[in-house]
């Protein structure tokens, strides 16, 4: 790989530039002066949802005539076309529906194409939902990890959560209102009853933060049906528990292997084996059963 050096504002730049413009996540007052100027001066504005962006441009009296559609379903065709415009000398501003582009959206693919062509990629900072939720969470901010949306398939989701079990940094997720209960339930099964913060409607009139354990937050959601998009902030695992698990004899075993060990080596019934494996892992027998069920190792 050849090293690439970007000097963002050199006057002898032969191509245009790609500007990643942060937009408000709810409150229009979070739009920066620089973002407004950049959108005004750009030759082209690429947007995930042109209808949504048109409203933003109208509010700030920016011409919507230079809007270009760029989203997950047309990025294969639109991406190279946009890059061609920039190579010809046009400056392109990329925006997402809300917040910073290229985070959990197809903007990252356009950035990659631009970098491959030696095009300057310039950040125009703005609001971000995950970081906004983190700083008000009350959980540690020294180290954190952003995971975006968890996989929809149960097996993939559970595998990822299992990999994150020993992660000690604060974890940040996005989730839709109709999946937040399922996601929290999966987290509790994988990690136990950790501290969590549910942040929704950030910067808007009905902004709300629910802080408590996963179990407490699930109880809250039973009485207050989920509304709006959520940022979920979860505390990392305690160092002492990580060390305890790493030193445990069963650490290298999968849940299936752990249960099978007790069945064959003790020996004991499958029910008792699940109970012992659950005790070792610090989770409930029900969680062990559900894991085996979802992975096709147990009959209903």
Question: What pLDDT does residue 185 have?
Answer: 95
Cis peptide leading into 267, omega within 30 of 0?
Answer: yes
* CA torsion, ordered 51, 55, 57, 58, to nearest 10 deg: 130
Question: What pLDDT does residue 56 have?
Answer: 96
Taking alpha carbons only, the member of 48, 85, 83, 89 closest to residue 67 is: 48
Token pair, residue 275, equals 């109970």
State how far the Cα of 35 lies from the Cα of 22, in Å rounded to an integer.
Answer: 7
Ranges for all domains in the chain classified under CATH 3.40.1010.10? 18-127
List of the chain residues with pLDDT < 70 = 1, 296-300
**Per-residue pLDDT tens over the stretch 105-122:** 899 999 999 999 999 999
Would you call 106 helix, strand, or coil by DSSP?
Answer: coil
Query: What is 130-238's CATH number?
Result: 3.30.950.10
Question: What pLDDT does residue 243 have?
Answer: 79
Question: What pLDDT does residue 298 have?
Answer: 61
**Per-residue pLDDT tens over the stretch 246-287:** 777 787 888 888 988 888 877 888 888 888 888 888 788 888
Query: What is 18-127's CATH number?
Result: 3.40.1010.10
**Per-residue pLDDT tens over the stretch 205-215:** 999 999 999 99
Q: How far is CA 88 from the centre of its chain?
A: 34
Ranges for all domains in the chain classified under CATH 3.30.950.10? 130-238
Question: What pLDDT does residue 267 have?
Answer: 80
Question: What pLDDT does residue 294 have?
Answer: 78
Would you call 171 helix, strand, or coil by DSSP?
Answer: strand
């Amino acid at each position: 790989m050849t090293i690439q050096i970007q000097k963002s504002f050199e006057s002898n730049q032969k191509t245009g530039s790609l500007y990643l413009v942060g937009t408000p996540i709810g409150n229009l007052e979070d739009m920066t002066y620089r973002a407004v100027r950049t959108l005004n001066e750009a030759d082209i504005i690429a947007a995930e949802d042109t209808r949504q962006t048109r409203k933003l441009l109208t509010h700030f009296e920016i011409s919507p005539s230079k809007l270009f559609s760029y989203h997950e379903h047309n990025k294969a065709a639109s991406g190279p076309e946009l890059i061609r415009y920039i190579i010809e000398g046009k400056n392109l501003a990329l925006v997402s529906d809300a917040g910073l582009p290229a985070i959990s959206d197809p903007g990252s693919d356009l950035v990659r194409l631009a970098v491959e062509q030696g095009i300057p990629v310039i950040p125009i900072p703005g609001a971000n939902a995950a970081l906004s939720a983190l700083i008000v969470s009350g959980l540690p901010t020294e180290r954190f990890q952003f995971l975006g949306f968890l996989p929809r398939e149960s097996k993939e989701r559970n595998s990822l959560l299992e990999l994150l079990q020993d992660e000690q940094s604060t974890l940040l997720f996005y989730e839709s209102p109709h999946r937040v209960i399922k996601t929290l339930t999966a987290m509790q099964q994988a990690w136990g009853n950790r501290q969590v913060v549910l942040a929704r409607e950030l910067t808007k009139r009905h902004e709300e933060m629910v802080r408590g354990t996963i179990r407490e937050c699930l109880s809250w959601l039973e009485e207050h049906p989920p509304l709006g998009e959520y940022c979920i902030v979860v505390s990392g695992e305690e160092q002492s528990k990580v060390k305890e698990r790493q030193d445990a004899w069963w650490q290298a075993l999968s849940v299936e292997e752990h249960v099978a060990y007790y069945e064959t080596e003790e020996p004991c019934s499958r029910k008792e084996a699940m109970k012992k494996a659950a005790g070792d892992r610090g989770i409930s027998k029900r969680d062990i059963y559900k894991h085996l069920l979802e992975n096709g190792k147990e009959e209903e």
